[in-house]
Chain A
Amino acid sequence: MFDDFFIRALVAGIGVAIVTGPLGCFVVWRRLSYFGDTLSHSALLGVTLAYSFDLNIALSVFIISSLIALILIQLQKKTNLPGDALLGLLAHSSLAVGLVVIGFLTFIRFDIMGLLFGDILAVTINDILMIWIGGALILGVLKLIWKPLFASTVNYELAEAEGLNPDKAKAIFTILMAAIIAISIKMVGLLLITGLLIIPAAMARNISDSPQKMVLFSIIGGLLSVIIGLFSSLEFNTSSGPSIIAASLFLFILSLLKIKQSVQLKN
């Protein structure tokens, strides 16, 4: 049944959504939206390098994104520039360098639109394996660092004082971010991956009163976005990434109604 490109895309997308749900909650809680953007923009450079040296795309993206994260941490320590300026600097320059490199690789035909916005036709069985195995690994590691990561998200000093080693958890989380971008780039495209991290989590925030519920609703929101998005992508012949993100926006708007309702109930 995996012969059908649409089924492949659906299975891959569901795998991605299960992982982006919990990670997205941390992106929202820790205010890392721009950080996610920076990592995903740098992914283009990873893709071009993969083509240049005939490497695995996900692996190459993972390495480049991790590298960019390391550079960011160094720049934050060594310069007096504000964090958002550094993020913008790295995001746009790595995107630009990636596009320049593509210009040089005239011997390869690139599907730029597919890279930027996702291409469900391109999802192979290997991609599915990578998403599900990689995704399981990401979730496994996230579960291991959940306690210190969550505690330090609430209050860094409490976590540090009570012996949870929040710095280590933060470093590992950065690597997980690079990993999720690497495995989901084909589905959602590098311009929109952060959207799949943030929007379902933001939707979930509107309807949750505990962190566990928010993670659960974030996963469900991501799954619905992927399913609705892919079906409409097939129906209207649109790119998969934008369709998925548009679907998640639709869900977010629905969740706003719930807020309005509960406000009215209170009054």
Chain B
Amino acid sequence: MNTNNNKLVKLINAGFRQNNKWLVEGVSLEVEKGKIVTLIGPNGSGKSTTAKIALGIYKNIEGSVEKYTNKVGYVPQKISIDWTLPLRVNDFMVLTENIKDDAINEALSLTGVIHLKNKNLGNLSGGEFQRVLLARAISKKPELLVLDEPVQGVDYTGEIALYELIKKISDTLNCGILLISHDLHTVMSATDHVVCLNGHVCCSGSPSDVARNNEYKTLFGEQASQILSVYEHKHDHEHSHEGVIKKN
């Protein structure tokens, strides 16, 4: 009877306003099982806000969110752990769900931090902590993974390995992934659907569409800015410095 079997979360014209300022508005997107949807856009364009709307963290939103699963794994962009909490990696892994030790070990091994299992969370480096965050999110075997810049601070080789891991997880667990990333290489190679945000949805589509339209070769060029500029020429409007939209 359920025709939405593959749907995990759907945003319909969703937006969020704080202190009378729109952080993001008019976002419609859909994450399905086994698919990776990537949000790209400049700083302050509402990527994290969109993720939080999808997760139900923001309550008073415009538009609507339809969530079809409760098995969610989340890697937030910013997280600070208080020193008043004596918390080891192992304690952190079971924070929101009791997970078997095997699954904990497996997830920590996959992200390459099994040796840190009994370390205090406060003593980890930024990159190590990021790997733990990702391990925690995938160890729950979620149906929906929301990854907000999941490899920030991770060393370059680790970055590639972790993105491969994310791609693999989406296949093996058949889970849907909402990914926020600055790495356009990854976006273009592993993603099923790209949404470009700048306070609203500037453009969206499959990466191959985007690539075909925008000189695929250049997309994988060395400079990300170059890639972005090629990608952005598809826009039908411009932004003033205040973010006001000017139709071309």
Contact = CB atoms under 8 A, between A and B. Distances in A.
Interface of B is mostly: loop
Contacts of A208: 86
A192 B140 CA distance: 43
A180 B88 CA distance: 29
Contact of B84 (A151, A205, A212): A205
Nearest to A159: B96
A155 interface: yes
B55 A161 contact: yes
A3 to B, nearest CB: 43
A161 B97 contact: no
Interface residues of B, number: 26
Contacts of B55: 157, 160-161
Nearest to A150: B95
B86 A162 contact: no
Contact of A154 (B73, B87, B120): B87
Interface in A181-221: 205, 208-214
Interface residues of A, number: 25
B86 A205 contact: yes
State the main secondary structure of chain A at its contact with B.
helix
A214 B82 CA distance: 15
B72 A162 contact: yes
A158 B76 contact: yes
A174 interface: no
A232 interface: no
Contact of B72 (A155, A161, A213): A161
Contact of B92 (A147, A154, A163, A213): A154
A29 interface: yes
Contacts of B95: 150-151, 154-155, 158-159
A56 B73 CA distance: 47
A233 interface: no
A161 B85 contact: no
A209 to B, nearest CB: 5
B146 A210 contact: no
A45 to B, nearest CB: 31
Nearest to B74: A161
Nearest to A163: B70
A164 interface: yes
A93 interface: no
B57 A160 contact: yes
Contacts of B70: 163
A161 B145 CA distance: 11
A154 B57 contact: no
A121 interface: no
Contacts of A210: 86-88, 90-91
B76 A211 contact: no
A124 interface: no
Given A160-B55, A160-B57, A164-B96, A153 B85 contact: yes
17 contacts: A28-B84, A29-B84, A29-B85, A154-B92, A155-B81, A157-B74, A158-B76, A159-B96, A161-B52, A161-B74, A162-B72, A162-B96, A209-B120, A211-B86, A211-B87, A211-B91, A213-B86
Interface of A: 28-29, 31, 147, 150-151, 153-155, 157-164, 205, 208-214
Interface of B: 52, 55-57, 70, 72-74, 76, 79, 81-82, 84-88, 90-92, 95-97, 120, 140, 146
Shortest beta-carbon contacts, A-B, top 10: A161-B55, A161-B74, A162-B96, A163-B70, A208-B86, A151-B95, A151-B96, A160-B57, A162-B72, A209-B86
